[in-house]
Amino acid sequence: MPMYQPSSRREVDSQVLDLETAVKDGVLGGGGGGCGVIATVFGSEKLDLKLMIEELEPMDVPMVFICPISLEPMHDPVTLCTGQTYERSNILKWFSLGHCTCPTTMQELWDDSMTPNKTLQQLIHSWFSQKYLAMKKRSEDVQGRVKEILENLKKIKGQARVQALKELRQVVQVHGTAKKTVVENGGIGLISSLLGPFTTHAVGCEVIGVLVNLNLDLNSLSDLLQPAKISLMVDILNEGSIETKINCTRLIGMLIEGTDFASQNVASLSLLVGLLRLVKDKKHPNGVVAGLNLLKTICSHEPVRNSFVNVGAVPQLVELIPGLNNECLELVLHILELLSSTPEGRLALKDCPSTIPNVVKLLMKASENCTQLALSILWSICKFAPEECASLAVDAGLAAKLLLVIQSGCNPVLKQRSAELLKLCSLNYTTTIFISKCKLTRTIQ
């Protein structure tokens, strides 16, 4: 079939710039004309439609502006004989594939003409121009206000400082322009300097709320790692609102991940206790995720693990397991696996009566990654105390679960570890008793 070639174009000298009227009166058809940069309804200023669409933040766009093929706003709309309108480049590509039908209705085209829809093109340009100029105006207003706040912060104190920081926090949470303005005008150093041993918690909460929304360079991160500033963050984490606790957690996480930190300076007992409180508060899932992520990062540093075990972390984390989603489950299991690498961690896991039943239940139940982490934890404690833990694990249904893993499509490493653990668990039983313990009938079902 030959390539479809449009043979004619019509031009209609009509302009409709009001979308509501255009839709109501049914005049979104016909027209002729050009594309690219056209004059806006705001005067002689010319704005490029493609540039405006790229720079504007995602928003709900009227459906009549969307090409049915690409589902993107149209730049150069053309209308077919069926009355359907498409972006020119998209419909030409459709035709180049040998189609002689309308993509939306699948009707065979009885007329091969494409009519440039000038009216719709002007409506699209008018609508995006209004949004774009409004955005530019907001950006200019935001930049000016941010600069004004930064200047004021150099002079004001007390409640006025708290209010200024609160306004700045609210602005940087919403506007990317505000974040850029703070950075370009030396705001990070100014705001960081407000943290110190004599900073009130009211000021500290707002400072942390601002900083956690900014892209901090290495020098800024290093400055925030000063012991006095870390100590204040930890105090606020333990005493602030849930929003403040989450902000503190994320900021400390940024500091740890962005620098070669001294774990003993950051991972204080007070921080570990505060994070445990945060992850146990299931009313606020964002806090649970943030807290677990930071604990995982902290526990990746071996010197911290015994301190975490000593504050009673293991039984508290184990008790969380039944009510967690997959994301949080993986984080908790990863932390417990890290703690199981130390003798103190293995002892704590063994002594917690919920460890074995809670972890055994996760095998082949959540993700494969959860199964792998659960197997690693069970291996550590069964190897640590085989006579005591192996029998408890078998009674909790471990043998049947291991057989399921071995028979499944899991990766070979998991199957090998399962076979080794199954062998370890069988050492305390005769063959007949162990087979009965495996509950093969249930496994087969």
* CB distance 371 to 411 below 8 Å: no
pLDDT at 24: 47
pLDDT at 363: 85
pLDDT at 139: 65
Q: What angle is formed at CA 247 by the lines to CA 241 and CA 249, rounded to 5 degrees?
A: 105
What would the 3-class secondary structure string for 118-150 be? HHHHHHHHHHHHHHHHHHHHHHHHHHHHHHHHH
pLDDT at 26: 44
Residue of 240, 234, 245 lying closest to 291 (CA atoms): 245
Which of 2.40.50.100, 1.25.10.10, 1.10.3470.10, 3.40.50.10490 would CATH assign to domain 141-355? 1.25.10.10
What is the spatial distance between Cα 318 and Cα 313, in angstroms, rounded to a whole number?
9
Topology, domain 48-133? Herpes Virus-1 (3.30.40)
Q: What stretches of 14-117 show up as alpha helix (H) in DSSP?
A: 19-25, 49-55, 88-96
Which three-class secondary structure state does DSSP give residue 47?
A: strand
* CB distance 65 to 52 below 8 Å: no
* CB distance 291 to 335 below 8 Å: no
Angle at which helix 313-320 crosses helix 302-310, to 10 degrees, equals 80
The residues spanned by each domain of the chain are 48-133, 141-355, 362-444
Residue of 181, 182, 210 lying closest to 195 (CA atoms): 210
* CB distance 207 to 232 below 8 Å: no
pLDDT at 129: 85
Bridge partner list, 73? 66
What is the spatial distance between Cα 228 and Cα 198, in angstroms, rounded to a whole number?
9
Q: Render each residue's pLDDT in the chain as its tens digit; 445 residues.
A: 333 333 333 333 333 334 454 544 444 444 443 444 344 444 445 677 777 777 676 778 888 999 999 999 999 999 999 999 999 999 999 999 988 999 999 999 888 889 999 999 989 888 888 888 877 776 667 788 889 899 999 999 999 999 999 999 998 998 888 899 999 999 999 999 999 888 999 999 999 999 999 999 888 888 898 888 988 999 999 998 999 999 999 999 988 886 665 554 566 888 999 999 999 998 899 999 999 999 999 998 888 898 899 999 999 999 999 988 989 999 999 999 999 999 999 999 999 999 999 998 888 887 888 888 999 999 899 888 888 888 888 888 888 888 888 887 777 888 888 888 888 877 776 666 666 666 544 443 3
Residue of 353, 318, 348, 344 lying closest to 332 (CA atoms): 318
Q: Please name the amino acid found at residue 401.
A: K
What is the spatial distance between Cα 307 and Cα 376, in angstroms, rounded to a whole number?
22
Q: What stretches of 226-354 show up as alpha helix (H) in DSSP?
A: 227-239, 242-258, 263-266, 269-279, 285-299, 302-310, 313-320, 326-339, 343-351
CA atoms 84, 87, 88, 93: torsion sign: negative
pLDDT at 445: 38
What is the spatial distance between Cα 280 and Cα 371, in angstroms, rounded to a whole number?
23
- Pair of tokens at residue 20: 């509501």
pLDDT at 4: 32
pLDDT at 431: 67
Asked whether the domain spanning 141-355 has the same topology as the one spanning 48-133, the reply is no
What would the 3-class secondary structure string for 50-103 be? HHHHHHCCCCCCCHHHECCCCCCECCCEEECCCCCEEEHHHHHHHHHCCCCECC
Backbone angles phi and psi of 60, in degrees to 5: -75, 120
* CB distance 74 to 67 below 8 Å: yes
Rg (CA), the chain: 32
Which three-class secondary structure state does DSSP give residue 73?
A: strand
pLDDT at 319: 94
Q: Which residue has the tokens 């063959």?
A: 431
Which pairing describes strands 37-39 and 46-48: parallel, antiparallel, or unpaired?
A: antiparallel
pTM strictly above 0.75: no
Backbone angles phi and psi of 173, in degrees to 5: -70, -25
What is the spatial distance between Cα 262 and Cα 275, in angstroms, rounded to a whole number?
18
